[in-house]
């Protein structure tokens, strides 16, 4: 409530509300871009070969590969009563689905053998059959939503959940994987799994003795159970998972850590109450530490998780600051990967949206130089976010803080970005410039700022924007020109009247302090 | 309206009439069409006509009428009736695309526009099959049809380039991409293949290249908001082809026209834009392609000619290089000395050359030339692009670039020296090169503010600029003269003063040049030099240093105004003003001639004022002449009046609106110069100044108030005796002003002058009304500005008429009014008063209320005594309260009346600040102490006891300070 009223005050008369200041991760739910390469994988197919080593019948495998049965033969064998043939057919199916290129998922589904495979999952007497069926189903579930649905509708959910407690570790592990694929499909199946009580047996698999490979699978499945919004996962499920995630975050394996961070990042990509649930675990210092990891696969989700936290309340943001986020961000703003720069700047923009005490911490922790660097040389995606940092900073900062910002050299790159090919960015910059002028007016330094803007070639860019196609951009530019750059001659002329009542040349404003 | 032949016939008749040159025939036909356009089937009749009419002119006319009809009526505005019936809408959408595609080009363009207007409203939701319908036509193989589709698509999609990201927009783009991106890509590939199979067929090539241009434009629109997945996956196809198109040339596509860009240029130009878009926004993904584009674009530049038709292409291409070379991770592409040399030699230098087109502009369109060259509206020119590239390269390679260019500058200067009359353009380029190399930051006001330290600006100035300007013939090589003058102007802060002094007579001499650009630059340069500041904040160039040149300077400046094309040259007029202001009394001997020339000019331009800046500086110059002369010789005011009043009368009589505010200001200045009683010539004008028509124009208000104040200062008793009947009219003006939130402060200026100067008995009968009016405004719409002015006024009144008179008049309006004003207005708001004189007036007024108003001591008002004293001490000691309540923040926007000629305030007609209590009170704190001392002597013990029981400690401490300073104590 405090944040709300404060921001409303800030924006009174400006026709804005606080939502425009702190920006949630998703602005537009439509994406034009390729799915992000830095995102965690939603579903995975098991095409690993090392599993074969566990399989004693290596020679047989080869033999059957040569005499690969046809789909008809598979159908017949699976539906038949011969256990041996069932196993061989299931194995053949699994192999088809595990081949590197173009697994025939659709054909297998069309054969209608999924219910039969699900049935095999229950054959506690035949571990091999259970395993092969689990693997095959895992790979079917790894496909499109249609594919996953076929597996779920075949009744696989309860079967896999009970297999979690299988005495055979490889079966239990394969089930974890399958369940991960189902959970990754979306909130509907995720919640169906949770409703079937998938969490207790899954968490029971985590122990110090669990082999790393297995632990990776479990962590990944857990992360899918935390993933997706609209709605977000049920609160009591989250509360059950969180202590285990806290434990996993301390693990030494990079993949386990990475997927745990992803899980936390999903949980924090939500409303403030959910963020609070995560903050309450005391995990922030560890997340901040991981932001500084040399491994980019850890940095990415850790940064996201913390970035999401600072979209929350002032207090939650303060908790992140107290955990040291501002000491790590300078390095991330200079990170070689543009995506990291962008996320770091986004995070900073939300901290800059806070009260002026937090803005002061941004200054104190030395964030301005890397910000200016990013603004002038960063990748465009990152530059856009950096513009937001400046915009929020000038909105919430005190006059002194804004002066400090200008003194750090922010103006030149900011004005250069008026050439950006993005209307929103241009508008944000123009609004920021207006705010800088308001601050300059308070200091009586308007004219100095005018000269500075002109010297940095900003004036001609703003003048040019008066021809911009976008109405709001054009009006914002016009507004600045009219307010500060027209009739320049008159301020030029304004004389002081001396004792004798005549014009004298002795007037000059004090030095600009920027 | 039915779709009948009869109706088609009628419509044809009317359409034909709308083309008639005779308005008596044309207008009624247009009216008729408007009156029937609401009928069902009307648009369908138009479509039928544009398709089937026998006469081509009717076809075209129907298509234009149709487009305008769509433009006016298609949008459905909330709460307004739907102007096109649903069945017509459906029929239009079903037929328009095929109709457009089968029409000849002239009609196709109109229909294409209509489609995009409809699309803006209905696409995609209400026109779902539009895209499929369009895409299907790609298969047709008929490029007339395909171009129609592409053009329509372009007008539908180009808004993606400037709209803000939103769910709605991106949903639409995604839909478009899904349906359009692949067919467009295939079409792109197919078209390129066709280009090579038809490489020898000029007419086919033209059609194909028109398609390619549209395709490249569509690419830009579709890729603008973000990098779509499809285009990322197909980047190889697009970029490889774009790249090869950049390097393509075909004789058949070259045009003879020198001005108009041909298809090839347009296409390459758009490709440069596309590459620049990717380089700026999608750097990560585009990186592998970028070096190839740099090379291709640079080769393109090397091989492109000087003709105007290539300008857009060249400046786009150079700007691309300029934006890339500043990026740290592309630095290496430019680093190599050979690369740099080659860029400098083949890209920058050639594009800095002064071309035939520039020469034409210099001679025939000098105003435009000056605007571009001097005021920097040259953003799209080649020179400017080349200059930006120099600055970009200097970011990382300042040393090497400066070195390379020095060589060029020298060789160009040598070329020039060999044969100046043939090779003068080489020198022009050399000067331009030095300028762009040396200037790192620049403003209009100060010229260059940061220079490249590797360039010796003074040496170049002495060796290469001054000699040109020293030449005896001012009209030789005008472009070089202009270059030289401009050099002085922009590097004035870098060149030492002694060199500037040497230049001044040269500049004065060039005021005589015939070339408009040259004498304008000379005037502008002088004006800029005269505004430079030296140490101690005085002008760098002093009046004493200018003494030898006064006569020639003034003569040449005024003569320049008689040169062809410069009769209203604002640069010259500004230089006149600046010279007067600098030279001060040394211009006095020339004033008679000067004022005659200025008056003549004024008379001439008042017939048709067209150059606002020129006019403004002209009036400033007149004001300066008056002030400078009358300061030395007050009697001279009469001769100015003699010279000016005739013209002024004409301006007022002819109601020359642009000039009236200026005339009032000059008149105020003249009137204020009079030491004695107001001359009768002014009194004759007085009644006219009160005429409402004058006060309706916002721009008149400040100068008219100023003028009336001058009347009151100089002629209050004359007004009281000779124009007493005009006093209500005068107060009427006050009332008019006070009614407006925007002008109320002007009303108070007037009222203050009335109270201060008019004999009390002359306004006696109006005083109560004045206060009632103010109280009403206070009650109904009080604003901070109003309260501030009100507080100053009542305190001034108190100073003039006494505190008791104030109390009495308030309480006569309403019992206890005085106490209420004290409690509700004065005490809480006095902090808001700003301005030294204003604060002083309030301090003296309040002191009087505290110490010279018996009811404050012995009635119920006594309880307000301490709070009032505390407020006064606060006024002395606390910082000004400048908080403005929220709703007033917008007062300007709501209350400013419609645009009128804004008040053009003349700086040199400036009014001295007037302190009405100055004589009486020097230090208001000491005055308070003395007054309190007097009061305590009159009633011993009372003041002290009030102070000790109620005044807060801090205020008491301040008060003791005042008493000490005044060396008095309280009894």
What digits encode the pLDDT tens for the residues A105-133?
Answer: 999 999 999 999 999 999 999 999 999 99
**Partner A contacted by B699 (CB < 8 A):** no
Q: What percent of chain A has pLDDT over 70?
A: 85
User: pLDDT (tens digit, 9 = 90+) per residue, A191-221?
Assistant: 999 999 999 999 999 999 999 999 999 999 9
Q: What percent of chain A has pLDDT over 90?
A: 71
Q: What percent of chain B has pLDDT over 90?
A: 55
SS3 at position A451: helix
The label of the residue with tokens 């250069």 reads A416
Give residue A299's pLDDT: 96
Give residue A38's pLDDT: 65
Mean of the pLDDT values across residues A261-267? 95
Least confident of A344-348, B31-35, B216-220, B513-517: B31-35
What ranges do the domains of chain A cover?
Answer: 28-48+71-233, 364-486
Residue B646 has pLDDT above 50, yes or no: yes
Give the separation between CA B215 and CA B151, rounded to whole angstroms.
Answer: 9
B283–A427 CB contact, under 8 Å: no
Q: What is the DSSP string of B259-308?
A: SS--HHHHHHHHHHHHHHHHHHH-HHHHTTTHHHHHHHHHHHHHH--S-G
The label of the residue with tokens 């001499």 reads B509
State the pLDDT confidence band at B911, using cuts at 50, 70 and 90.
Answer: low
Give residue B916's pLDDT: 82
Give residue A85's pLDDT: 93
SS3 at position A153: helix
**Per CATH, which fold does A28-48+71-233 belong to?**
1.25.10
The complex scores an ipTM of 0.74
* Inter-axis angle of helices B263-281 and B202-222, nearest 10: 20
User: pLDDT (tens digit, 9 = 90+) per residue, A425-474?
Assistant: 999 999 999 999 999 888 878 878 988 998 898 988 998 898 888 989 99
Give residue A49's pLDDT: 53
Chain B residue at shortest CA distance from A420:
B280
How far apart are the CA of A348 and the nearest CA of chain B, in angstroms? 21
Give residue A491's pLDDT: 34
Query: Residue B907 is nearest to which of A419, A420, A493, comparing CB atoms?
Result: A493
Query: Residue B910 is nearest to which of A421, A427, A503, comparing CB atoms?
Result: A503
Residue A322 has pLDDT above 50, yes or no: yes
CATH architecture of the domain formed by A364-486: Alpha Horseshoe (1.25)
A380–B442 CB contact, under 8 Å: no
Mean of the pLDDT values across residues A390-418? 95
Give residue A233's pLDDT: 96
Chain B residue at shortest CA distance from A26:
B167
Q: Which residues of B touch A500 (CB under 8 A)?
A: 631
Residue A335 has pLDDT above 90, yes or no: yes
Residue A506 has pLDDT above 50, yes or no: no
Query: Residue A423 is nearest to which of B163, B379, B910, comparing CB atoms?
Result: B163
Give residue A463's pLDDT: 87
B376–A338 CB contact, under 8 Å: no
Chain A residue at shortest CA distance from B325:
A377
Q: Which residues contact B821 (CB under 8 A, 6 or more apart)?
A: B794, B810
How far apart are the CA of A236 and the nearest CA of chain B, in angstroms? 33
Residue B884 has pLDDT above 60, yes or no: no
Residue A495 has pLDDT above 50, yes or no: no
B280–A500 CB contact, under 8 Å: no
SS3 at position B539: strand
Do B507 and B525 meet the contact criterion of CB atoms below 8 Å apart? Answer: yes
Query: Residue A455 is nearest to which of B165, B280, B443, comparing CB atoms?
Result: B443
**Partner A contacted by B540 (CB < 8 A):** no
Helix (H) or strand (E) run with residue A497 in it: strand A496-497
Residue A2 has pLDDT above 70, yes or no: no
pTM: 0.72
**Beta partners for B442?**
B448
Residue A19 has pLDDT above 50, yes or no: no
Give residue B694's pLDDT: 86
Strands B447-451 and B439-443: antiparallel
**Partner A contacted by B538 (CB < 8 A):** yes
User: pLDDT (tens digit, 9 = 90+) per residue, B530-568?
Assistant: 988 887 778 899 999 999 999 999 999 999 999 999 999
Give residue A4's pLDDT: 38
State the pLDDT confidence band at B231, using cuts at 50, 70 and 90.
Answer: very high
Residue B880 has pLDDT above 80, yes or no: no
Chain A residue at shortest CA distance from B171:
A30
Mean of the pLDDT values across residues B255-282? 90
Least confident of A45-54, B305-314, B806-815: A45-54
Give residue A489's pLDDT: 33
Residue B482 has pLDDT above 60, yes or no: yes
**Partner A contacted by B831 (CB < 8 A):** no
Mean of the pLDDT values across residues B166-181? 92
Least confident of A40-54, A364-378, B447-461, B689-703: A40-54
A451–B531 CB contact, under 8 Å: no
Residue A334 has pLDDT above 70, yes or no: yes
Q: Which residues contact B786 (CB under 8 A, 6 or more apart)?
A: B741, B744, B777, B778
State the pLDDT confidence band at A37, using cuts at 50, 70 and 90.
Answer: low
Least confident of B576-580, B624-628, B829-833: B829-833
Q: What percent of chain B has pLDDT over 70?
A: 96
Higher pLDDT pick, B958 / A29? B958
A12–B886 CB contact, under 8 Å: yes
Give residue A24's pLDDT: 67
Q: Which residues of A touch B578 (CB under 8 A)?
A: none
Q: Which residues of B touch A383 (CB under 8 A)?
A: none
Mean per-residue pLDDT of chain B: 89
Q: Where are the beta strands (DSSP E) in B392-506?
A: 439-443, 447-451
A455–B376 CB contact, under 8 Å: no
CA dihedral B539, B545, B548, B553 (to 10 degrees): -20
Tokens encoding B150:
């592409």
SS3 at position B900: coil
State the pLDDT confidence band at B577, using cuts at 50, 70 and 90.
Answer: very high
A377–B912 CB contact, under 8 Å: no
B445–A424 CB contact, under 8 Å: no
Which DSSP letter does residue B970 get? -
């Amino acid at each position: 409530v405090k944040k709300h009223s404060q921001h409303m005050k800030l924006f009174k008369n400006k026709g804005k509300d606080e939502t425009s200041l702190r920006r949630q991760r998703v602005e537009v739910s439509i994406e034009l871009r390729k799915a992000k390469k830095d995102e965690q994988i939603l579903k995975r197919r098991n095409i690993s070969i090392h599993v074969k080593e566990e399989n004693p019948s290596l020679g047989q495998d080869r033999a059957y590969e040569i005499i690969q049965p046809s789909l008809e033969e598979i159908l017949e064998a699976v539906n038949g009563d011969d256990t041996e043939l069932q196993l061989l057919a299931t194995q053949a199916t699994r192999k088809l689905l595990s081949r590197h290129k173009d697994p025939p998922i659709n054909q297998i589904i069309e054969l209608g053998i999924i219910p039969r495979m699900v049935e095999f999952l229950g054959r506690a007497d035949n571990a091999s059959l259970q395993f092969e069926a689990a693997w095959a189903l895992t790979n079917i579930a790894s496909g499109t939503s249609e594919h996953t649905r076929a597996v779920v509708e075949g009744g696989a959910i309860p079967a896999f959940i009970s297999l979690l407690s299988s005495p055979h570790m490889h079966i239990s592990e394969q089930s974890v994987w399958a369940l991960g694929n189902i959970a990754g499909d979306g909130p509907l199946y995720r919640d169906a799994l949770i409703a079937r009580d998938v969490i207790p047996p899954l968490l029971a698999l985590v122990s110090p003795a669990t082999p790393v490979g297995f632990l990776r699978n479990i962590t990944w499945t857990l992360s899918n159970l935390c993933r997706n919004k609209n709605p977000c996962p049920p609160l009591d499920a989250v509360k059950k998972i969180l202590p285990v995630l806290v434990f996993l975050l301390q693990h030494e394996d990079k993949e386990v850590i990475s997927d745990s961070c992803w899980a936390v990042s999903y949980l924090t990509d939500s409303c403030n109450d959910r963020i609070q649930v995560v903050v309450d675990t005391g995990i922030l210092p560890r997340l901040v530490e991981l932001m500084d990891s040399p491994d980019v696969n850890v940095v990415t989700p850790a940064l996201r998780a913390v970035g999401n936290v600072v979209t929350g309340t002032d207090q939650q943001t303060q908790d992140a600051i107290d955990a040291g986020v501002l000491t790590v961000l300078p390095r991330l703003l200079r990170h070689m990967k543009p995506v990291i720069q962008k996320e770091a700047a986004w995070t900073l923009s939300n901290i800059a949206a806070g009260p002026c005490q937090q803005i002061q911490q941004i200054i104190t922790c030395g964030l301005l130089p890397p910000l200016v660097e990013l603004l002038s040389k960063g990748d465009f995606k990152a530059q856009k976010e950096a513009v937001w940092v400046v915009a929020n900073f000038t909105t919430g900062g005190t006059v002194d803080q804004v002066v400090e910002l200008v003194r750090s050299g922010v103006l030149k790159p900011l004005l250069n970005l008026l050439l950006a090919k993005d209307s929103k960015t241009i508008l944000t910059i123009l609004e920021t410039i207006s705010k800088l002028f308001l601050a300059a007016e308070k200091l009586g330094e308007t004219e100095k700022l005018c000269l500075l803007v002109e010297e940095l070639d900003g004036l001609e860019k703003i003048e040019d924007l008066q021809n911009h196609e976008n109405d709001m951009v054009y009006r914002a530019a016009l507004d600045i020109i009219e307010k500060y750059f027209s009739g320049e001659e008159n301020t030029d002329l304004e004389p002081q009247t001396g004792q004798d009542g005549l014009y004298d040349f002795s007037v000059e404003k004090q030095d600009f302090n920027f | 309206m039915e779709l009948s032949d009869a109706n088609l016939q009628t419509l044809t008749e009317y359409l034909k009439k709308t083309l008639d040159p005779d308005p008596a025939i044309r207008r009624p036909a247009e009216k008729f069409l408007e009156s029937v356009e609401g009928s069902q089937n009307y648009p369908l009749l138009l479509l039928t006509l544009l398709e089937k009419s026998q006469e081509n002119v009717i076809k075209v006319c129907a298509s234009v009428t149709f487009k305008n009809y769509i433009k006016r009526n298609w949008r459905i505005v909330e709460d307004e009736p739907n102007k096109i019936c649903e069945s017509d809408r459906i029929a239009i959408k079903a037929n328009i695309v095929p109709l457009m595609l089968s029409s000849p080009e002239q009609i196709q363009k109109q229909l294409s526009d209509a489609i995009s207007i409809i699309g803006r409203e209905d696409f995609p939701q209400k026109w779902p099959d539009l895209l499929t319908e369009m895409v299907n036509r790609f298969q047709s193989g008929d490029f007339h049809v395909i171009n129609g589709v592409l053009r329509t698509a372009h007008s539908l999609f180009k808004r993606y380039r400037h709209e803000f990201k939103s769910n709605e927009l991106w949903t639409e783009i995604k839909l478009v991409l899904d349906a359009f991106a692949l067919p467009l890509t295939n079409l792109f590939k197919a078209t390129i293949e066709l280009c090579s199979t038809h490489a020898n067929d000029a007419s086919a090539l033209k059609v194909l290249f028109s398609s390619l241009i549209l395709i490249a434009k569509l690419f830009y629109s579709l890729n603008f908001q973000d990098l779509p997945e499809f285009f990322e996956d197909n980047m190889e196809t697009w970029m490889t082809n774009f790249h090869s198109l950049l390097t393509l040339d075909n004789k058949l596509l070259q045009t003879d026209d020198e001005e108009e860009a041909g298809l090839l240029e347009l296409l390459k130009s758009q490709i440069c834009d596309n590459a620049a878009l990717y380089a700026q926004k999608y750097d990560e993904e585009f990186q592998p392609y970028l070096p190839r584009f740099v090379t291709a674009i640079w080769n393109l530049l090397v091989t492109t000619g000087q003709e105007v038709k290539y300008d857009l292409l060249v400046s786009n291409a150079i700007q691309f290089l300029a934006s890339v070379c500043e990026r740290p991770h592309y630095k290496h592409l430019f680093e190599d000395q050979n690369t740099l040399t080659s860029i400098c030699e083949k890209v920058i230098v050639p594009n800095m050359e002064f071309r035939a087109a520039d020469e034409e502009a210099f001679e025939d369109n000098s105003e435009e030339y000056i605007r571009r060259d001097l005021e920097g509206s040259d953003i799209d020119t080649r020179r400017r692009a080349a200059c930006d590239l120099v600055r970009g390269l200097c970011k990382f390679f300042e040393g090497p670039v400066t070195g390379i260019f020095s060589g060029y500058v020298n060789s160009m200067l040598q070329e020039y020296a060999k044969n100046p009359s043939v090779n003068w353009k080489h020198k022009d380029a050399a000067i331009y090169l030095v300028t762009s190399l040396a200037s790192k930051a620049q403003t209009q006001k100060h010229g260059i503010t940061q220079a490249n330290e590797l360039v010796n600006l003074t040496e170049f100035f002495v060796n290469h600029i001054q000699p040109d300007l020293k030449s005896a013939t001012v009209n030789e090589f005008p472009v070089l003269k202009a270059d030289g003058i401009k050099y002085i102007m922009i590097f004035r802060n870098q060149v030492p003063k002694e060199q500037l002094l040497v230049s001044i007579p040269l500049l004065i001499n060039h005021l005589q040049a015939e070339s408009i650009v040259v004498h304008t630059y000379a005037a502008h340069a002088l004006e800029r030099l005269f505004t430079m500041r030296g140490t101690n904040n005085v002008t760098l160039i002093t009046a004493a240093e200018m003494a030898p040149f006064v006569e020639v300077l003034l003569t040449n400046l005024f003569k320049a105004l008689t040169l062809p094309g410069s009769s209203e040259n604002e640069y010259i007029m500004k230089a006149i003003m600046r010279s007067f202001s600098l030279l001060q009394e040394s211009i006095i001997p020339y004033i008679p001639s000067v004022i005659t020339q200025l008056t003549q000019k004024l008379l001439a331009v008042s017939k048709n004022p067209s150059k606002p800046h020129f006019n403004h500086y002209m009036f400033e110059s007149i004001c300066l002449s008056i002030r400078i002369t009358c300061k030395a010789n007050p009697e001279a005011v009469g001769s100015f009046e003699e010279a000016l009043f005739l013209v002024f009368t004409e301006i007022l009589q002819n109601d020359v609106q642009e000039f009236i505010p200026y005339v009032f200001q000059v008149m105020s200045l003249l009137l204020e110069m009079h030491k004695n009683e107001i001359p009768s010539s002014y009194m004759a004008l007085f009644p006219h100044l009160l005429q409402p028509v004058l006060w309706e124009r916002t721009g008149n208000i400040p100068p008219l108030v100023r003028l009336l104040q001058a009347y009151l200062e100089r002629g209050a008793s004359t007004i009281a005796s000779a124009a007493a009947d005009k006093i209500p009219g005068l107060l009427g003006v006050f009332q008019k002003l006070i009614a407006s939130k925007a002008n109320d402060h002007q009303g108070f200026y007037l009222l203050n002058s009335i109270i201060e100067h008019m004999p009390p008995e002359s306004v006696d009968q109006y005083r109560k009304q004045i206060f009632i009016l103010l109280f009403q405004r206070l009650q109904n719409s009080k604003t901070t500005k109003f309260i501030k002015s009100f507080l100053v006024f009542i305190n001034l009144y108190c100073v003039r008429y006494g505190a008791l008179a104030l109390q009495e008049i308030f309480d006569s309006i309403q019992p206890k009014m005085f106490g209420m004003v004290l409690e509700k207005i004065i005490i809480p708001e006095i902090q808001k008063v700003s301005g030294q004189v204003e604060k002083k007036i309030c301090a003296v007024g309040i002191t009087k209320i505290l110490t010279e108003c018996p009811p404050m001591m012995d009635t119920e008002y006594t309880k307000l005594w301490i709070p009032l004293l505390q407020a006064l001490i606060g006024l002395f000691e606390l910082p000004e309260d400048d908080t403005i309540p929220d709703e007033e923040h917008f007062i300007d926007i709501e209350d400013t009346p419609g645009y009128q000629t804004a008040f053009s305030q003349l700086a040199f007609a400036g009014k001295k600040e007037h302190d009405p209590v100055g004589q009486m009170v020097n230090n208001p704190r000491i005055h308070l102490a003395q007054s309190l001392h007097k009061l305590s002597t009159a009633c011993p013990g009372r003041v002290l006891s009030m102070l000790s029981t109620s005044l807060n400690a801090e205020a008491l401490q301040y008060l003791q300070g005042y008493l000490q300073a005044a060396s008095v104590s309280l009894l």
